[in-house]
Structures are given as C-alpha cells and as structure tokens.
Amino acid sequence: MEKILQGIRVLELGQVLAGPFAGAIFADLGAEVVKLERVEGGDDARHMGPAFRHGDALNFHIFNRGKKSVAIDLKSAEGLAAFERLAANADVFIHNLRPGVTQALGIDGRALCDRHPRLIYCEISAFGHTGPMSLLPGYEPLIQAFSGLSSINGGPDDPPMRTGASVCDQGTGMWAVIGALALLQRRHATGKGGVVSTSLLETALVWAGQKADAYANEGRLPDRHRSGHPGFAPYEAFDTADSPLLICCGNDRLFAKLAHELGRDDWLEDPRFATNRARLNNKVALFDQLAPLLHEKTRAQWLGRFEAAGVPCAPVHTVPEAIAHPQVEALGMLQAVPGEDFRLTALPVSIDGERPSHRCVAPRLGQHNADFNVPMPG
C-alpha cells in the first residue's frame, strides 16, 4: 500500500482545505507531496484554532499528514526560480490560490504546461474557471448558499442551512485527484500532461444534482426532509422510547416486513398503505399510526427485531457513539499517526483488502527546504 503511487511527485500550493485535502489523498496513496507555503505563517490552516501539536492547529494536521514542507517566496525572483526547478521535476501540481494569482505570477496552467509539457496541472477555484464570477473567491458556506445546496438541507419549516461537513471543499479536492489520475493514465499513452479545472460550485451542483435535475426536467421543487426521502415512505428517523431510529423501507417488500414486526399486517390490505406511491400520498395518516407504536419500545429493542427481520434501520448516532461502534472500529478508519500520540481519520478506500495508512505527521513550516535545495528566505 505504501508504494501504489511511489515515484509520483506532487507539488501542492494549497490553503486550508480543498487543495490540501487533494494533497493528503495523494500522500496517503504513496506519492511524495511537497507542500509549498508562504514564508510568513505558512498555510492559514496552521492557525485555524488553538495549537494542537507542534504549534499547529488540529485542522492543519488532518489535511497535511504525510507531506513535506518547503517555505518559498513566490513574489521574489529567487522564489520563482526555485518553483520552476520544482515544477520541472514534478508530475502533478495542485493549487487553490485566489483567482488571478497564478496569472500574475506567470504560473497559470497554460504557461506552466507550455514550459513543462508532462506536468499535470490541477486548479481549484470557488466558482469555476470560466463565467462572469470566475475571478471571485469563495468559502464553503457561501458556495452551499449560492448553489442551492443549503436550500434543500433541513426540514420543511427550517431556514436554509449548510451541511455540517465541508462537502464542497473536500469533494472538490477529491475531483481534482480523480482528474489528475485520469491525466496520469493519458500521459502514459501520449507523454503529455494537461490542465484539470474544478471548483466548489461545480461540486455543490453535482451533490444537489438529483434535486436540480428533477426541477429542470419535471418542474418539481424539492420537498425538504430532515432525514427522509421524497420517493419512499417510511424512510426517515422516528423517536423510540429513548433514542431516535432511522427506518428505510425502500420497497413494498421491506414495508411488509416492518408492518409484520409491528403487528400491523392489516396495513398491507389498506389501499392507503399497500404500495409505496399510496404511502407517499398518505404519509401523515401512516405516520400517525406508526409513530406511537415505535414509542412503545427502546431503540435497542427495535434494532434487534428489525435487523433480524431484514428491515433496514440504523440508530441516529452522535459522533462519539459512531466512532466507538464495533463496526467502525473493525474498519480501522481512525489510524495512529506514526511517532505521535493521536489518531486521524484515514482514506475511505481499501486496495487488495488494505487501507492506506498515515505515513508521518504534518510537517513543520519549511522543514524540508534543504532537501530540495531551496534556501529559507530571510
């Protein structure tokens, strides 16, 4: 697993999340990732919150494990010359700089790939590489709001709200890696690299694609469900005697199993509830009968019965409950950082049955300048 991308060198000029997450994926898969940072302060993520280890915030450690750090002043002739040397020996370059910065420095995709034709250049922006807003910066909550993603989150009476996870930032980093790997494959055949462009807005639009496509093709505005689904019923969370339980009846066969476990086989003969489409049209009437029944037992009691009967269900966990669950522990998603006393979440993929492991702790600012013959400015 340590050698899957061995021999691939990635330059990452990334800030905070999307670019650094792309670099972290490459690092976990075995590539050498050289993080280029400002001389003064480095990546802003180093200071996103209180010091966690080695003077840097936890967020920096999460997204920069396994990398090397080179402090560089790209506003100086010496810094640009050092960057050019690094780019000449790199396979992939990733950045999420503010729009216009790379053009001002002369390291935009077209210019850099003209000088280094084998380079795969990955640019990450907020609003996309073209269009009237292409030069505007943006952040996760702004993009979720602008894209309509916030408008489909929450329940029918809730205000628009962002998702708790940074799905646009991290998703965009993932798309950048997918594009880079595709061009690495093409380079095997042609010898040439190319430019990958992706953005937080495009990622958000893909995540909202089911809702947007329904509106574009059928004129349907999405119903908002806190935990439910517009196409199935019952398919959401319900309160039990102690804790919430999510039940997913994705077809009539599963609903029949649920009805039987609840002692309500009569529902299967009731024209209001016999089919999924009927249940969608009579959801209030069904839930008026279903909710009191679920209140009669605890979540653990219902889980045992429903799982034995084959009814898809899950406890609505808190984060501590989720990471302590035997299934999550069996997956080994939380991995120790070598030489350190803390754990970080690993990549959600296994290859030949093995999950990529963290290779080393996030680097100190400029820790590897000497390794690449880049003098520390100042």
**What gap in Å lies between CA 175 and CA 171, rounded to an integer?**
6
**Cross-strand pairs, 121:** 93, 195
**What gap in Å lies between CA 194 and CA 122, rounded to an integer?**
9
CA 115 to chain centre: 33
- Contact, 78 vs 375, CB < 8 A? yes
Angle at the Cα of 233 from the Cα atoms of 229 and 235, rounded to 5 degrees: 55
Reply yes or no on whether 169 is catalytic: yes
**What gap in Å lies between CA 255 and CA 243, rounded to an integer?**
22
Burial 52-76 (b: 16+ CB within 10 A, else e): eeeebbbbbbbbbbbbbbbbbbbee
Q: Per the structure block, which two tokens stand in for 174? A: 């993932």
Q: Which residues contact 142 (CB under 8 A, 6 or more apart)?
A: 126
Q: Which residue among 108, 158, 169, 223 is the active-site one?
A: 169
Q: Which of 229, 226, 196, 192 minimizes the C-alpha distance to 312? A: 229
Strands 244-248 and 313-315: antiparallel
The alpha-carbon radius of gyration of the chain (Å, integer) is 25
**What gap in Å lies between CA 145 and CA 156, rounded to an integer?**
17
Catalytic residues: 169
